[in-house]
Chains A and B, each alone.
Chain A
Amino acid sequence: MTALVALARRDLHLAVASLGESLLGVIFFLIGLSLFPLGVGASPDVLARIGAGVIWVLALLAVLLTLERLYQGDADDGSLELLALSGAPLELVVAVKCAVHWATSGFLLVLVSPLLALLMGLGPAAIWALPLALALGTPTLTLIGSIGAALLVGSRRGSVLAALLVLPLYIPVLIFGVAAVDGVVLGLGGAAPFLILAAMALAALALAPFASAAALRLALE
């Protein structure tokens, strides 16, 4: 237990100490999104129609950008070995690392998303629907990404491979994430997509720590 607390504290300290790197995902998110009105034209109808999809695609990519720092640093400097020796199960170590990673990536996207909903002219309902959908969906992105990041520890060009490995697995989150926001924005209603996002988050929470820990054990050998 102490080991997990020490790990969470260190990772949070580290996220604050390397603030630029921590904010990389959210800055990418903002800049990427601001390009769309320039690219497709500032017609409010078009932006409102594509808004939810564009925001979700950028959220996927923003989380993907930050995945490399999840395990690679610890593998390079020997912290991973130390964590394996802590006596705490590696699965819980993974869960703690994912929690801190989400707090410094997905959670920041949730915080800025109401602004983005306004930017894309998604309408008043999106100001709560988009953050809610992202809050339910981004933990899944971190957890699935954790499997890819753990598998690619030690491989060169890991971030490119991670994109190939992880992005296809993000498709269900993308589909239901967009459906959830569009459902509210277009007035179709329905809680189903939100519930499916939550179900996927719970399933990922149950499975990803075991898969990631198994991959990390291989990396330690």
Chain B
Amino acid sequence: MHRLQGHDLACRRGGRMLFEALGFDLRGGDALLLVGANGSGKSSLLRMLAGFVRPIAGTLRWNGEEIAADDPLWRRHLHYVGHADSLKPLLSARHNAAFLAGVTGDGMAADRERALAHLHLRDLADRPARYLSSGQKRRLSLARLVASNRPVWLLDEPGVGLDAAARGRLEAMIESHRAAGGLCVVASHGDVALRRHLVLDMDAALEAEEDALPAGSRSAHTIEGGDAVR
């Protein structure tokens, strides 16, 4: 079973301490929801997990082994969906999907078509991406999650711009990914509903003394020393 651990992580961006002494322990099937105000470091933590931002202190472990910075082997295990959609406006949805699927997976045309169908984009496949609405672009960008199979999903506000139906499909995708033993870290302002998840409150992560958190947001999962929920 997969295991992703963060221990005593600290992050400084632009001279400001975003968070410190932050930890979590996730196993296959877990989902961690990052909550917190704007600027509390949710995106920075996700970028740190993806290896773009170096922690100034602390360690990350994948299946017990420490993850080095810029480790291509670790990156092969993860999907990172940030704010940008990684789409080229001039290319058709299908060409864009081929790139997304090819870069993260083994680029099989069948995978690409399955992903387009899964996100109800088949009818739009030949349309240039610049004619897609922002929600459709988001769906196209999320297609890579279906097109290639990677165990760790890092999703930065994946629900932005999606309608209720698309959001439902995204939630279903996340749940089936978890059911298959994958794990998932989501930063969200509450528009994506997860089942039985862990919560990491980034506002509290900065104020280390203030460790009172409403018990309702805790999950029944193993949390080492209250690390995951500060």
Interface residues of A (CB under 8 A from B): 2-3, 5-7, 9-10, 13-14, 17-18, 73, 76-79, 81-89, 217, 220-221
**B107 touching A2, Cβ below 8 Å:** yes
Q: How far is the CB of B167 from chain A (nearest CB, A)?
A: 21
In the bound complex, residues from chain A placing their C-beta under 8 Å from that of B76 are 87
**B86 touching A79, Cβ below 8 Å:** yes
Say what secondary structure dominates the interface of chain A.
helix
Which of B52, B54, B82, B91 is the one whose CB lies under 8 Å from A10?
Answer: B91
| Apart from A10-B98, A14-B88, A14-B91, 20 more pairs, CB < 8 Å | A2-B106, A2-B107, A3-B107, A6-B103, A7-B103, A17-B88, A18-B90, A77-B85, A77-B86, A78-B82, A78-B83, A81-B80, A82-B80, A82-B100, A84-B75, A85-B75, A85-B80, A87-B76, A220-B52, A221-B54
Which bracket fits the contact residues of B?
Answer: 35 or more
In the bound complex, residues from chain B placing their C-beta under 8 Å from that of A85 are 50, 75, 78-80, 103-104
Which of A6, A18, A217, A220 is the one whose CB lies under 8 Å from B107?
Answer: A6
Bound form: Cα–Cα A9–B54 in Å = 32
Most interface-central of B72, B79, B98 (chain A CB within 10 A): B72
**B99 touching A10, Cβ below 8 Å:** yes
Bound form: Cα–Cα A88–B107 in Å = 14
23 A-B interface contacts by CB (under 8 A): A6-B101, A7-B102, A7-B103, A10-B95, A10-B98, A10-B102, A14-B90, A76-B84, A77-B85, A77-B86, A77-B88, A79-B88, A81-B50, A81-B80, A82-B100, A82-B103, A82-B144, A85-B79, A85-B103, A85-B104, A87-B76, A221-B52, A221-B54
